[in-house]
Structure 1
Amino acid sequence: MIERREKPLIRIRGIYATALTALFLDAGFDITQPTPPIVSRFKLTKPLLAPPDATVKDRDDKKGVTIIGNGGPVEAILKVFRERFPDIIVKAYQPELYSSYKGVAEGTCERGTIVNLGITKGILPSHDIKPGQEVVVHVRKPSFLSQPLLAKGLVVNGKYMRLVEGGKNSISRHIHNPRKIRDLLYLLNMLRLEDWGIRIRSSARFASLEELIAEFNELKKQIQSLKRDLSKLPTPSKITPGDALVEVTFPLEAKKALDEMRRKVVPTLPLHHYFKSISNGFEKILNFSELLIEKGLDPEKISESVQEYICQDILNVGERFRIIHEDIGGGRVDINGLLREVKGGYLYIKRDFRPGGLYDGLNIRKEEGDYGTTIVKVGSMLTCHFYYSQKNELKGIYVNVNTPTEIFSRNCVWYQDLKIDVVKNNVEGWVKTIDHDQLATLLNMNIISKEYFELCTSITKEVEEFLKCVDVTESSIVDLFERVEEVQNKIY
């Protein structure tokens, strides 16, 4: 039997595990299925192994985390995050993953049939359904600000398994024990349900065969009940719940706050989580550095040395350079150029442009021979673009406001765009802020906090004032970076 508990049970995985375990234990949560390092660091003599109500794990690029689980516990986790980290970016995907709906087809598009689910409309990759036809579907891929991807059939979710109408039998890739896999394969061969697939979930590795059989029988009863009452449900309507899915980005200041939490548990290098999120594998350097801290050496000096080493190792002047401009709404733009210079922490990227069209926000034509310089600095919320003519005349400046820039990988940096920008048309002599309404939309959708909205607005005013009052050059723009750095440090 699965024990009923009042406190949310959460499972934590990834590079933020120690810091987040400390955070959520302090907040009154229970941690389940902890890894051996967590058991050791927190002296968990009787670690819980029950299925989690929600799981917190790394984003694929380790720049934040993904939360997946029951709606209530996921909201409780977000509440703790929002109270502790005013600069996080929160993206809640809709509808719930593997939730089921009785929908109605409304037409077709290139990708398939558009199905009205009531709360939103999704895409079913099929063109054999007529408009107005009722169809039972489940959510295969929830979306953020776009249409979710659907599949035919009902889904019922348990703690240890998921039954998918029309699906195939499968076992979670997180189950590694050969003996357990053998037992689960035997079980799948024994538990047959015509036209249904059984997905064994990761928590099944801690369950007995008796517990798994009991849950299968319970889910089977649910299916019978749902099928019996399906015709009574209105169209469109939700049939079964799924997993809430939320993505949270930890900007650089949030990573520093997580460093402090981890430091209360184990020796932790300043910028530990930032270094861990760089995709070039500096694990051994970090482990050695934190051993030196444990021996009594100065953490700040070690961190500065590690940062210098990483920059020397993966920033190569004269080679191709990439800026990952991640759109909060989805997707990204890669800004490519040549790393011209690294000076005082600033990176200068030379860019060339094809003639035709206009520079975004500036209303200035792109002409033959135009080129540009983009200036970034790790930790800064500004990305500054200078646009020049073939005669080296400055045509305009575009200042992008974003989450603090971070090194992503070799000759590559990353940030999330915060929508609001400031531009200066040097030909006509005007300066203006653009897309402030899009920043306000992020606030209204609870993607950013009021504090972060106000910070971005303050930074924008600082930038606009600077561009209006100063004859801006690539040299003088350093003063703006320094001013903004003072403003952005006030968020914590």
Structure 2
Amino acid sequence: MSDTSRVKIRGIYTTALTRLLASEGFEIVQPSPPIEDRFDRAFDLAPAEATLFASDDRQGVGVVGPAAPEVRASLAAIDVDTLAWRDPAARGSVWDATIAETNSGGAFVDLGERSGFLPFSNTDDHVDTGDTVRVQVVEPRPPWDDGRPVVDSTVRVQRPLVTLVRDGAVDSRGSPELADLLSTEPPEGWRAKWSRAADDAGLDALGDALETAVERAEELDDALDETEPTGETPRTVFEGQPTVWAWFGRESRFELDDHRDAVTTTMTGHHRIKAGDERASAAVDFVEAVCDGDGEFPFEAVSRQFGPTEGDTVAIDHGKPAGHCIRLGRGKVTEYDPSGTVWVEREMSPGGTYDGLGIERRAGDVARTKFTEGKWWYPTIYKGADGETRGTYVNVCTPVEIFPGSVRYVDLHVDVLKHADGTVERVDDDELDAAVEAGDVSEKLATKARSVASAVENALS
């Protein structure tokens, strides 16, 4: 890794990641005012080679830019339950794609491994199912999110200080005063839109930003001119900026707490609480302003203030190592232990069989799941309408996090079953092996999963 890769960071993990990445040789640029105050050092306003931002759900971060793969390696090493992926629908990538379907707001387009969303406001043409369109990814989305990458029929080059838009318009509004002194101009057919940070940047930084954007715009012009639509879809016409996503688990959040605490007062569970509920951010900031941050993670205080407690409804968000997230359904919290445990009950619909157990799903069946904050496994007990236990399924996963509206973890494939006759069975080790082979699960994380599965298997036997 180059020791001069420049990174811009925003979001709830900024302080921790600023310390972490700076310690690993990255140069932090364009800091927010709190970061300047906390680190009490000079930062450059130069263009970033990677921009890092918190995902909308605060569960992880996205990174966009040439240095994104280098940043990904550092993020993946934070702790054993950090998972990181390359996004096949990178920001700025241009595609020939087919409209798969439409709704009242826009169209869904096939991008191969991902499905994009084209708002009708992002295209001047009428589009319908089956049409072929040329679009660019302008807003990437994490793989675990329900949302789809947003695409646009207008092509642009996005950079931290300047964005070039390929629409033939002329627009000098919002340009920094120093922009008039630059020797470089946008290519014909492109216009520059400067960010607010450009007002405080020096002439060299503005010049470097515009030159880099112009080079990319010229490459894009060449690619678009040379690649006529052929009807073959989905097809990548132009590679975008490298885009990666890192999904933090519970242990990773506490590791980030340690990095933040080395810089400023940080209560135990700072990132865990902020990731769970946006309302909690102000409360965390208040607590840290009046205390020294010592103590245990205050599960009871957080859950009683923001949920969940007995009677609440929570979703079960079942993450997968490949990056996507499946919502298993919603259930009612029937029991609540302030030390960090909730029991969630779901009524099961009849039809089909229970995965692994191989028994029929019947009307009246109830799934009773015990979730404990921080545990690497959780059990689900399936009971029939008569109250008899039909089987128990123990899922091995990254440490459970009980957020106000959902329980979240990443499934690690290997599971342990206890059948109604008392037989104990361990399953899906092969799927875990395949995930390691595919690079979705580290060997360290897989070793932990196998160890947990063995302990559960021994306890149930």
TM-score bracket for the superposition, by shorter chain length: 0.7 to 0.9
RMSD: 4.2
Does 2:241 align with 1:243?
yes
Q: How does 1:305-320 map to 2 (within 5 A)?
A: 306-313=298-305, 314-320=307-313
Q: How far apart, in 2, do the equivalents of 1:353 and 1:339 lie? A: 16
Secondary structure, in 3 states, of the residue corresponding to 2:346? strand
Deviations 1:362-411 (A, max 9, x none): 1111223222311100111212110111221111011112221113225x
Q: How far apart, in 1, do the equivalents of 2:340 and 2:374 lie? A: 10
Distance 1:79 1:200, change over 3 A: same
**Which residue in 2 is equivalent to 1:85?**
79
Offset of residue 299 of structure 1: 1.5
Choose the corresponding residue for 2:419, options 425, 438, 442. Answer: 425
Offset of residue 263 of structure 1: 1.6
Offset of residue 54 of structure 1: 0.8
How many residue pairs get aligned? The number is: 433
Does 2:326 align with 1:325?
no
Distance 1:97 1:227, change over 3 A: closer
Secondary structure, in 3 states, of the residue corresponding to 1:97? coil
Choose the corresponding residue for 2:376, options 363, 375, 381. Answer: 381
Q: How does 1:91-490 map to 2 (within 5 A)?
A: 91-100=85-94, 138-140=136-138, 155-158=156-159, 160-165=161-166, 181=174, 200-201=194-195, 203-207=197-201, 227=221, 241-279=239-277, 281-294=279-292, 299-300=294-295, 303=296, 306-313=298-305, 314-328=307-321, 329-343=323-337, 344-410=339-405, 412-427=406-421, 429-467=422-460, 469=461
Distance 1:199 1:374, change over 3 A: farther
Mind listing any 5+ residue stretches in structure 2 that lack a counterpart? 119-126
Q: Counterpart amino acid of 1:335?
A: G
Q: How far apart, in 2, do the equivalents of 1:139 and 1:455 lie? A: 37
Deviates more, 1:445-454 or 1:30-39: 445-454
Secondary structure, in 3 states, of the residue corresponding to 2:73? helix
Secondary structure, in 3 states, of the residue corresponding to 2:277? coil
Instruction: Decide which structure has the larger Cα Rg and report it.
Output: 1
Q: How far apart, in 1, do the equivalents of 2:117 and 2:16 lie? A: 40
**Which residue in 2 is equivalent to 1:49?**
45
Q: How far apart, in 1, do the equivalents of 2:436 and 2:223 lie? A: 41
Q: How far apart, in 2, do the equivalents of 1:217 and 1:50 lie? A: 13
Secondary structure, in 3 states, of the residue corresponding to 1:299? coil
Deviations 1:206-263 (A, max 9, x none): 4479986996688567656765686767999976552221111221111111111122
Deviates more, 1:335-344 or 1:227-236: 227-236
Q: How far apart, in 2, do the equivalents of 1:389 and 1:464 lie? A: 24
Choose the corresponding residue for 1:74, options 68, 76, 80. Answer: 68
CA contact (8 A) 2:299 2:340 kept: no
Q: Counterpart amino acid of 2:163?
A: R
Secondary structure, in 3 states, of the residue corresponding to 2:411? strand
Secondary structure, in 3 states, of the residue corresponding to 2:242? strand
Q: Counterpart amino acid of 2:274?
A: K
CA contact (8 A) 2:164 2:192 kept: yes
Offset of residue 264 of structure 1: 1.5
Deviations 1:27-63 (A, max 9, x none): 121111111111111111x321112111222121212
Q: How far apart, in 2, do the equivalents of 1:229 and 1:93 lie? A: 21
TM-score by length of 2: 0.78
Q: How far apart, in 2, do the equivalents of 1:335 and 1:403 lie? A: 19
Mind listing any 5+ residue stretches in structure 1 that lack a counterpart? 172-179, 470-492
Distance 1:110 1:61, change over 3 A: closer
TM-score by length of 1: 0.73
Distance 1:123 1:289, change over 3 A: closer
What is the aligned-residue identity percentage?
A: 27
Deviations 1:86-105 (A, max 9, x none): 3211122114321346x6x8
Secondary structure, in 3 states, of the residue corresponding to 2:314? strand
CA contact (8 A) 1:87 1:448 kept: no
Distance 1:260 1:183, change over 3 A: closer
**Which residue in 1 is equivalent to 2:121?**
none
**Which residue in 1 is equivalent to 2:37?**
40
Choose the corresponding residue for 1:64, options 16, 36, 60. Answer: 60
CA contact (8 A) 2:47 2:208 kept: no
CA contact (8 A) 1:355 1:368 kept: yes
Distance 1:167 1:376, change over 3 A: farther
Distance 1:338 1:243, change over 3 A: same
Distance 1:69 1:367, change over 3 A: same
Q: How far apart, in 2, do the equivalents of 1:233 and 1:402 lie? A: 45
Offset of residue 319 of structure 1: 3.5
